[in-house]
Amino acid sequence: MSTNRRYDAPIMRLSRREFLRSGAALAALVSSPASLVTAQANETMDERRPIRLGMASYTFRNFDRARVIEFMKELNLANLNAKDVGDHLPFSPPGATQQAVEDYTSKGIRLTAVGTVYFPKNDDDDIRPKFDYAKRAGVGVIVAGDPAPDTLPRIEKFVNEYDIRIAIHNHGPEDKLWHSPMDVLKAVGSMDPRMGCCIDVGHTARAGTDVVEAIKAAGPRLFDVHMKDLTDFHSKESQVSVGDGIMPVRGIFEALIAIRYKGYVDLEYEVHADDPMPGVTQSIAYMRGVLAGMGYQS
């Protein structure tokens, strides 16, 4: 099957009726006052929970760190891909990064990746501070935005030195370098296995690439997933809550389980920035419902 076909055929997905029948109780869980300690236990990967759900802090870009923590507690989520936006995870000074890490940790929130982090220069002095930032944050993955192909060998040197993986984030047809995960895989295929990709499912679909096939192609080089949903795979502006669009969520989860994916599926809800929680809550509940319908816990 081609990895660059358009999604013109009908997509098998979990209907709202099936979701409500198999996972309605989980919607209540999202808004329950359960502690994040419980959430951490529930999101630990094992055979009952092969998919670990998380959040991209960019979703809450119009809110400060304290509100991010409150939102995570409301959602009963413990895994956060943190970005240097607002005070979520400041890049500098180092003490500010450390304070943010302590604030999250004290509330039971686990930082799973930093980013998106950008690499505009093929220069050690530009690249090293970003690996130091990830090291201060205590994460093993940097989600990278726009490294030029000729910068990758230099980044690979730091991947070896720090033992931190690089997940190049594709940004769809507007991205001059990385339209699709397939572009990333072509560039890093002969490099250190810690050089890989972050698949943004929305941007991938808009680039005309089959998301499920991209996941299978990435295999062990897939280090992060940014989840969103669209009603039109030709329109960036058609983003909706997960479950209200045409994204093959169940197929995505099945593919991740098939490749034994060990990373996180981070919701990146980029609409309604001033009032994201209704859509975010619905999205997390839907994904938990899909997993419940597949026979898995979350």
Q: What pLDDT digit, counting tens, does each position of 59-91 carry? A: 999 999 999 999 999 999 999 999 999 999 999
- Which candidate, 286, 275, 278, places its Cα nearest to that of 60? 275
- Residue range of the domain that includes 229: 16-293
9 lies in some domain: no
Q: How confident is the model at residue 42 (pLDDT cuts 50, 70, 90)?
A: very low
Three-state DSSP state, 81: strand
Residue 39 pLDDT more than 60? no
- Tell me, what CATH number does 198's domain have? 3.20.20.150
54 lies in some domain: yes
36 lies in some domain: yes
Q: What is the pLDDT of residue 297?
A: 75
41 lies in some domain: yes
146 lies in some domain: yes
Distance in angstroms (rounded) separating the CA atoms of residues 275 and 254: 31
Higher pLDDT, 17 or 159: 159
Contact 256, 225 (CB under 8 A): yes
Three-state DSSP state, 47: coil
Give the model confidence (pLDDT) of 209-239 as tens digits. Answer: 999 999 999 999 999 999 999 999 999 999 9
- Which candidate, 64, 69, 62, places its Cα nearest to that of 109? 69
Domains in the chain, number: 1
192 lies in some domain: yes
Give the model confidence (pLDDT) of 129-163 as tens digits. Answer: 999 999 999 999 999 998 999 999 999 999 999 99
Q: How confident is the model at residue 48 (pLDDT cuts 50, 70, 90)?
A: confident
11 lies in some domain: no
7 lies in some domain: no
